[in-house]
Amino acid sequence: MNDNSNKRTQRTPAEIIAETEAKLAKLRMKQAKQEAQSNPQVASLIDERNALMKKKREAAKILGSGPQSAEARIAKHTAWIARISQEESDAQTTLSVAEASLASIDRQIEDLIASQLDSQASA
């Protein structure tokens, strides 16, 4: 059985030369960039580029869908707000119940003191 899909094709000399020239051009550009970094104008442009890349990364992080995205942070804060609101509601209920209980206890104390005073006065 003859399978042509696994057959390897050999590159022509022209293709090999073109690939080698592309690699050489890439290496020359890399060397030129390294040498250009000693030039103050190029160095300042590189610094500016790096600063812009950082801003771009931060903006993409906020607009993305990861744990540091605005959407995720808003969801976390919404959950915190809901929890805090529930704690606030629970605290209001506790305060109302405690105030009513305190008023009841205060009345009982006053009634007991008054009855003691009445029993002392009649004795």
pLDDT per residue, tens digit, the chain (123 aa), is 455 567 788 999 999 999 999 999 999 999 988 888 888 888 888 899 999 999 999 999 999 988 889 999 999 999 999 999 999 999 999 999 999 999 999 999 999 999 998 888 887
Query: Token pair of 117, please?
Result: 């005073």
Predicted confidence at residue 3, as pLDDT, reads 55
pLDDT at 14: 94
Q: Give me the pLDDT at residue 43, please.
A: 85
> Is residue 69 exposed (0-12), middle (13-18) or buried (19+ Cβ within 10 Å)?
middle
pTM of this prediction exceeds 0.85: no
Cα maximum dimension of the chain: 129
Instruction: Please give the structure tokens belonging to residue 26.
Output: 């890439």
pLDDT score for 5: 61
Task: Please list the alpha-helical segments (H only) found in the chain.
Answer: 13-36, 40-63, 70-122
By three-state DSSP, how is residue 8 classified?
coil
| Whole-number pLDDT of residue 119 | 87
Contact 51, 45 (CB under 8 A): no
Instruction: Note the pLDDT of residue 79.
Output: 96
CA distances, 9 to each of 6, 15, 23, 55, 112 (Å): 9, 12, 21, 46, 108
What does the alpha-carbon distance between residue 44 and residue 68 come to, in Å, rounded to a whole number?
Answer: 31
Token code pair at residue 11: 């590159």
